[in-house]
Structure 1
Amino acid sequence: MTNMIGIHSTLNLYISDHSYTLAPANDNQSQSLTINRTDSQVSLSSPGPPEKFDRSVSNVAGILGIITLLKSDYLILIQQVTNLFKTAVYTPSKFAVYPISLEPNLTLLENSSERYLLSVLKVHLDHAIGKMFFTYQSKLNPNDPEPWNLTHSLQRQFSSKTSPDQPLQPWKESDDRFFWNKHIQTKLIEFATQPHGLEASKFILPVIFGFLEFKSAVIKGQRFTFGIVSRRSRYRAGTRYFTRGINADGDVSNFNETEMIFTTFPPNYNSNQADAGRKNFCRAGFVQTRGSVPIFWTEINNLRYRPDLKIVDLPESLEAMKAHFDQQISIYGDQYLFNLVNSSGYEKAVKDSYEKAVRNLNNPRVHYTYFDFHQECKGLRFDRVQILIDQLHDQLIEQAYFSQDLSGASSNPPSKTQKSVVRTNCMDCLDRTNVLQSALAKWVLTFQLKQAGILEEKESLDTYPDFMFLFRNLWADNADCVSKSYSGTPALKTDFTRLGIRTKKGAFDDGVNSVMRYIKNNFLDGPRQDSYDLFTGAWVPPTSDSQAGSLRTGHDEQLFKGPYDRPLIQLVSSYLQSSFGLELLEVLTSFVQVMLGVVIFFLIFISATFTKKRSWKLAIISLVILSIITRYMMAHGMEFVNQPRLQSSKTNATRQRIVGYNGPSSRCFESSRHGRTRINFELFDKFVSSISSNSNHASAPFLARKTPNGPIGALQSSSLANNQSIIDEDKKKRLD
């Protein structure tokens, strides 16, 4: 049995003006963890509560981490959890954020940059509900041979065992790619690596981000469980259009490892039964991966349904792809690449560039297969993905899967191991990828059930509709979860995943979700991308006093200015804010709101006078205005997109380099910088500028609320002015 250090499952928090102390609630012998509020230093203290404290909070489920913003560090605690499937797996259901700085909460919130960073932190924590999972390094079931580290597949966990005499620290044994909160655990990890800090490892809780669900099933009286664990990589994490392709380190966007786990139970199985009494008890795991096409490419939002596409051959292109596949091969073995993008039209450039890069890589362990999904499956025949599986039948048989017999001794070596992996991609690595992954999982599970003696050699899972209902819905739920994290909406084509057929209702739902993707990806994804960059450490706040001072006054262009100049939007937005003190909505940029307001006004006016004489003239005027507004928006499309503000992040640095690349090797479907047409709006621009130049009075102050000396109020409310930093920056420039 591996000697694994356990993680404290319940903590009591003691708050004073000088420190936060977290004491194990169920272990009076273990040391407490103390965080000094003066310098954020971490230390271990004697067991139990401190001698003096102002108040306490009981039953804290764990420490998510300590995040550094501009004016303070913040302690993020998991306040409530939900236990899943009556096992040792938990998911956070409520977070609490405590400022470590001694400054009053309202003072911290007076800084517009700090408010914005807190607001995007709240965006991420809200989004993480139901998508973060962890264990306290406990067994999934009482009879499992080892504690389960969720960051690892079953096969990696077995192969990474070390000497039983060596105490293992859970965070050290975790897979760095899927240790989602590792960046904000840095302070605790640094302390735990010191000679006197080993006990701090009991407070470090590795969390994965993705999907986890298990189902119980019965076929022919044989009970078994099957489930899916999808682990999202913390490297190059982000949203659909702001993270595409690869970076120089070999990290690709939207990389997910999806493992299907299958466990059989003996007849009359009792979870409290002793190891020696177990018979016919085995478990198996099958891993697939997905990730963006590993070349340098991006799609540039410009309000058009299909953004501009740009693909470039940077000097480090081949090295980046080599780094990516070298890592994948070292972890999973041979790579079977399934490319599902279109062979013509908009996506053809991605296909051709990918194939060229794979040829140049010339790695015998990288096996490329192309499948034109939309052409092969046209007419809603998504079942035809079986053609691809049949084509690679022999390779998939050789690939195998992880299998371990748990009968009798609990440390039996695996009877099979997975020797390679299928890496699937489409453009987004979402909808088409989901269809293929679920079809491949069904094929493998059928094979596993036959190997376990549950199915006969010629039997099919389709003859068991009750089970297929569970199976399809589980994979559809996984598809929706992965899609929401990347695109902001549920996956498309899930009617086929859930029902096994394509339906008209499913096609209609896909249309609705496509429209929602368009809206979110153009007008909402800026703060979402910032939230990923902030939480995962892709963007780190500046440390020098001079930089911090600049940020507090809103001058730092690199922090808050987007990759494209947007003077007109900033002028109109600043004018509205200063004149009316409005809290601008995040759903649309301020200028779009102005234009829509004009249209709505004219439509209302027309409806009120529709029956009057010459009302057709007003209708024509409205249509002309609407036409001008639409043309202006299309001509300046990129200026209306809600861009990320944390522009110094690695994620956006790579994207901006691709966007700005004009070398001879660039291949793209790219319009001009401001759209495919250019309209002369000089008079309108001058009018707006003249209005804005007369609005030098101070903007309305942030509506502060009385906040207790507890979790900061900013994370309990959605009323933060997310646009305040840009507004303050623009106003200061005009005042100067």
Structure 2
Amino acid sequence: MAVVLPFRDINVHASASRYAFSSASSPSAPTLVVDRPTGDIRLNDGALLGTKRVSSIAGILGIIKLRLDKYIIVITKAQPMGRLKGHMVYKVIATEFLPLRERPLHDLDEDNYLSLLKTTIKTGPMYFSYSFDITNSIQRQAQSNPLLPLWKRADDRFFWNRFIQTDLIDFRTGGGSGGGHQRQHSTQQPGVDPYILPVMSGMMEIRNTAVKGTPLTFALITRRSRHRAGTRYFSRGIDEQGHVSNFNETEQTVLLNDTAGGLGGFAGGGGLLNGKVGGNGGLEMQVMSYVQTRGSVPVYWAEVNNLHYIPRLQIRGIDNAIAAAKKHFDEQIRLYGDNILVNLVNQKGREMQVKAAYEQMIQTLITQPLERKQSDANSDEKIHALEPRRGQQKLDRLKYVYFDFHNETKGLRWHRAQLLLDQLHDLLLKQQYFRGIAMPGDPHGRLEVRNEQTSVVRTNCMDCLDRTNLVQSMLARWMLNQMLTDLGILQPGESVSDDEVFEDVFRNIWADNADVVSRSYSGTGAQKTDFTRTGRRTTAGMLQDVSHGITRYIRNNFNDGPKQDGFDLFLGTYLPSASITGNALLFADRRPILIQAIPYLLAASIFMVLVATFTRRLPDAATLPLRIFLIFWFVVGVWCLQFIYSHGMLYVNWPKLNPLPWATEGYNEALSKSRKDKVVGKWIDRRHERGASSARLSYLEEGKKRIE
């Protein structure tokens, strides 16, 4: 049975009544037709008349319905990233939106929706392959059915465009017409399979390198979950379905005797597509991989933006989150086996609350928890381990290890992180890694499994970014040494760090991983990547961290609202309404006019102070009026700054599509407080608002009801 793979060469034909998609290399394949303006989907076996060829595309990203129209999002440009097992992987570079209406209606909210979506897609980054399932780890691929269409094999968590592929998938499975104007049908439509292209969001780097003269392909893939995806302060903790924020699966892969690892060619030859390797002296291709995960602490918690550099922390009771945490860890155990939970948050200060909540949750979930603690001169609680006395239930496969990363490594003593590795040593030996050997002559490129990874290390800090990536890279290096030692490339006691060229490749790929994951969640590259790249802290790296800290503050308070809205639109956690009355001017600013005016008054005062300070004046000019003018505007500026900082929640750029209960409460609380201001409080009244205070966030509840 032939494997059905996505088309690589899709031609787009357009007319006033339809869009038609066909493959030039598969003339016998049916043409996919999307009728305009209804959006109804059908397959056509013959040639379509009355259409003209518009362009050639790399694939269909999906179809999305906004307020007034539906749009087909197509990939117009893709960049080759390298080969894995002979299969080329691409990065999405450019897309185009094809409206179903011939003459699109213009609307402010529709334009905002489109802008949010285009920004989300552009900042991605997103990757795909026509013949290789990059959403699944190598081990899961070895367990899947290679005869299924690629989209059916995809891991739902990392099938980033799953929501906008809904119309095509529903039509394929008989769940609906895709357009909503035809009755549901029960007929399967396998002809649609080659048009459904699964796309992954995250990070991917593939390098052809060598260790001690042995050539190999080294790859690092981080897959970002589409569930509870969002930005740093608008997506924390866990939801009721058991999904946690900033969940990423990172897979480190090593391929030996893979002569098809270059960038040559768009599609590759037939032998490459099915994973066979020739010209390597008869040596079998070997694939080894090691998987780690990261994710937010699985309790209900949030950090509330209020323009302070350190936001206010809120944690709900542990009892409320037990059911959600059980769902989360049930899935993690089903997918990965035992879960080794490494917690790196600080044990003092504000982070202590998060640590205590996590540990209380684990003690609740496992049977008769056994505690072990270590302390030294640096820390009262250097190591804190929790594990069940007896494995009586599924959740007893959780093993919790706390490491006081902050205290142990402060003063640039990064080598102290080795203490955590020592603590995990036996668990890592038992955990192992995946190893498979290419099966000669297998038409589907399957692997003969020689070894499997039996557990996973799930690492977190507060953001699951900087500290987490440093520890993950340390664990990845340890496991890589095990792999290469088992293969005989390294001798017992040797390390990949001894090979300076490969060590440089390893460090930079992991630093790139830190930057990509951090940029998608916090808005900047990761902190301390100078140490990850070079093994030492530098002055330039410290200055870069300061720059990142300032940039994160600005973006998290003023830019992340629209960014979160973009995620919610693209991933389908918000569904635009076609109602004109209930959803008009969704993105309009409905704060009281005086509240909106104060930042402009601050800017004006700064301008006036600068003018008064640096403007040249005549020698005989009176200085008193100028001094009064300068003092007046200086006082106005200081008051404006103080007002904005004291009522910060009124000036945070909140997400406008999905409800944040604590945002609604905090906004109304800040507005009430502003009415008590001695200077302008009496002028901030509901009569002067463009809509009541609750109106500004009423659309949030509206969106929630619509989704439910």
Rate the CA distance shift 1:314–1:672 in 2: closer, same or farther, 3 A.
farther
State how far apart, in whole Å, the 2-side matches of 1:520 and 1:240 are.
10
Residue identity in the other structure for 1:553? A
Partner of 1:230: 222
Q: Which runs of 5+ in 2 are unaligned?
A: 175-186, 263-271, 367-394, 700-708
Contact residue 212 and residue 499 of structure 2 kept, 8 A: no
Contact residue 67 and residue 73 of structure 1 kept, 8 A: yes
Contact residue 675 and residue 681 of structure 2 kept, 8 A: no
The answer to whether structure 1 residue 75 and structure 2 residue 72 are counterparts is yes
Which string of whole-angstrom CA distances, capped at 9 and with x for unpartnered residues, describes residues 292-334 of structure 1? 0000000110000001110002764100000000000000011
The answer to whether structure 1 residue 119 and structure 2 residue 111 are counterparts is no
Partner of 1:251: 243
Residue identity in the other structure for 1:93? I
Comparing 446-455 with 301-310, which one deviates more in the overlay? 446-455
Rate the CA distance shift 1:18–1:359 in 2: closer, same or farther, 3 A.
same
Partner of 2:133: 149
TM-superposed deviation, 1:276: 10
Q: Which of 406, 411, 416 is residue 438 of structure 2 equivalent to? A: 406
TM-superposed deviation, 1:283: 1.0
State how far apart, in whole Å, the 1-side matches of 2:327 and 2:423 are.
29
Partner of 1:57: 54
State how far apart, in whole Å, the 2-side matches of 1:89 and 1:268 are.
12
State how far apart, in whole Å, the 1-side matches of 2:199 and 2:544 are.
33
Partner of 1:13: 12
Partner of 1:176: 156
Partner of 2:90: 90
Q: Which of 323, 332, 350 is residue 354 of structure 2 equivalent to? A: 350
TM-superposed deviation, 1:601: 2.7
Residue identity in the other structure for 1:375? N
Q: Which of 623, 637, 641 is residue 652 of structure 2 equivalent to? A: 641
The answer to whether structure 1 residue 596 and structure 2 residue 632 are counterparts is no
Contact residue 18 and residue 34 of structure 2 kept, 8 A: yes
Over the matched positions of the two proteins, sequence identity in percent amounts to 38
State how far apart, in whole Å, the 2-side matches of 1:3 and 1:389 are.
46
Rate the CA distance shift 1:463–1:527 in 2: closer, same or farther, 3 A.
same
Residue identity in the other structure for 1:124? T
TM-superposed deviation, 1:449: 1.1
Q: Which of 484, 487, 493 is residue 519 of structure 2 equivalent to? A: 484
Contact residue 612 and residue 630 of structure 2 kept, 8 A: no
TM-superposed deviation, 1:506: 1.2
Rate the CA distance shift 1:422–1:3 in 2: closer, same or farther, 3 A.
farther
Contact residue 15 and residue 21 of structure 1 kept, 8 A: yes
TM-superposed deviation, 1:47: 4.5
Partner of 1:567: 591
Residue identity in the other structure for 1:51? L
Residue identity in the other structure for 2:95? F
- 1:400-439 to structure 2, matched below 5 A, reads 400-406=432-438, 408=440, 411-439=446-474
The answer to whether structure 1 residue 553 and structure 2 residue 584 are counterparts is yes
TM-superposed deviation, 1:561: 8.0
The answer to whether structure 1 residue 501 and structure 2 residue 518 are counterparts is no
Rate the CA distance shift 1:560–1:99 in 2: closer, same or farther, 3 A.
same
State how far apart, in whole Å, the 2-side matches of 1:269 and 1:320 are.
42
Residue identity in the other structure for 2:639? I
Contact residue 275 and residue 409 of structure 1 kept, 8 A: no
Q: Which of 122, 125, 129 is residue 135 of structure 1 equivalent to? A: 129
State how far apart, in whole Å, the 2-side matches of 1:118 and 1:185 are.
17
Bigger relative CO (Cα 8 Å, ≥ 6 apart)? 1
Rate the CA distance shift 1:204–1:97 in 2: closer, same or farther, 3 A.
same
Partner of 1:666: none
The answer to whether structure 1 residue 330 and structure 2 residue 326 are counterparts is no
State how far apart, in whole Å, the 2-side matches of 1:594 and 1:551 are.
33
Contact residue 674 and residue 684 of structure 2 kept, 8 A: no
The answer to whether structure 1 residue 158 and structure 2 residue 139 are counterparts is no
State how far apart, in whole Å, the 1-side matches of 2:687 and 2:321 are.
48
State how far apart, in whole Å, the 2-side matches of 1:474 and 1:185 are.
31
Rate the CA distance shift 1:461–1:204 in 2: closer, same or farther, 3 A.
same
- 1:161-560 to structure 2, matched below 5 A, reads 161=145, 167-194=147-174, 195-265=187-257, 273-274=277-278, 278-313=282-317, 316-362=320-366, 363-406=395-438, 408=440, 411-542=446-577, 548-551=579-582, 553-554=584-585, 560=587
Rate the CA distance shift 1:675–1:684 in 2: closer, same or farther, 3 A.
closer
Residue identity in the other structure for 1:476? A
Q: Residue 392 of structure 1: SS of its match in structure 2?
A: helix
Contact residue 560 and residue 726 of structure 1 kept, 8 A: no
Rate the CA distance shift 1:594–1:205 in 2: closer, same or farther, 3 A.
farther
Q: Which runs of 5+ in 1 are unaligned?
A: 138-147, 574-589, 662-669, 697-724, 730-736
Rate the CA distance shift 1:594–1:81 in 2: closer, same or farther, 3 A.
farther
State how far apart, in whole Å, the 2-side matches of 1:624 and 1:236 are.
45
State how far apart, in whole Å, the 2-side matches of 1:487 and 1:117 are.
22
| TM-score normalised by structure 2 residue count | 0.84
| TM-score normalised by structure 1 residue count | 0.81
TM-superposed deviation, 1:685: 5.5
Residue identity in the other structure for 1:219? V
Partner of 1:708: none
Contact residue 606 and residue 618 of structure 1 kept, 8 A: no
TM-superposed deviation, 1:682: 6.0
Residue identity in the other structure for 2:557? N
Partner of 1:144: none
TM-superposed deviation, 1:157: 0.6
State how far apart, in whole Å, the 1-side matches of 2:669 and 2:602 are.
22
Which string of whole-angstrom CA distances, capped at 9 and with x for unpartnered residues, describes residues 272-305 of structure 1? 8549963153110100000000000001100000
State how far apart, in whole Å, the 1-side matches of 2:128 and 2:89 are.
6
TM-superposed deviation, 1:213: 0.6
Contact residue 602 and residue 641 of structure 2 kept, 8 A: no
Q: Which of 619, 623, 643 is residue 632 of structure 1 equivalent to? A: 643
Contact residue 605 and residue 633 of structure 2 kept, 8 A: no
State how far apart, in whole Å, the 2-side matches of 1:431 and 1:231 are.
17
Q: Residue 490 of structure 2: SS of its match in structure 1?
A: coil
Partner of 2:268: none
Partner of 2:42: 43
Partner of 2:183: none
Q: Residue 580 of structure 2: SS of its match in structure 1?
A: helix
Comparing 59-68 with 270-279, which one deviates more in the overlay? 270-279
Rate the CA distance shift 1:295–1:282 in 2: closer, same or farther, 3 A.
same
- 1:558-707 to structure 2, matched below 5 A, reads 560=587, 567-568=591-592, 570=593, 591-608=598-615, 613-614=623-624, 616-647=627-658, 652=659, 655-656=660-661, 673-674=669-670, 680-681=676-677, 684=680
Rate the CA distance shift 1:396–1:511 in 2: closer, same or farther, 3 A.
same
State how far apart, in whole Å, the 1-side matches of 2:418 and 2:673 are.
45
Q: Residue 600 of structure 1: SS of its match in structure 2?
A: helix
Contact residue 32 and residue 44 of structure 2 kept, 8 A: yes
Contact residue 112 and residue 552 of structure 1 kept, 8 A: no
State how far apart, in whole Å, the 1-side matches of 2:327 and 2:663 are.
23
Contact residue 403 and residue 414 of structure 1 kept, 8 A: yes
Q: Residue 680 of structure 2: SS of its match in structure 1?
A: helix
RMSD: 3.0
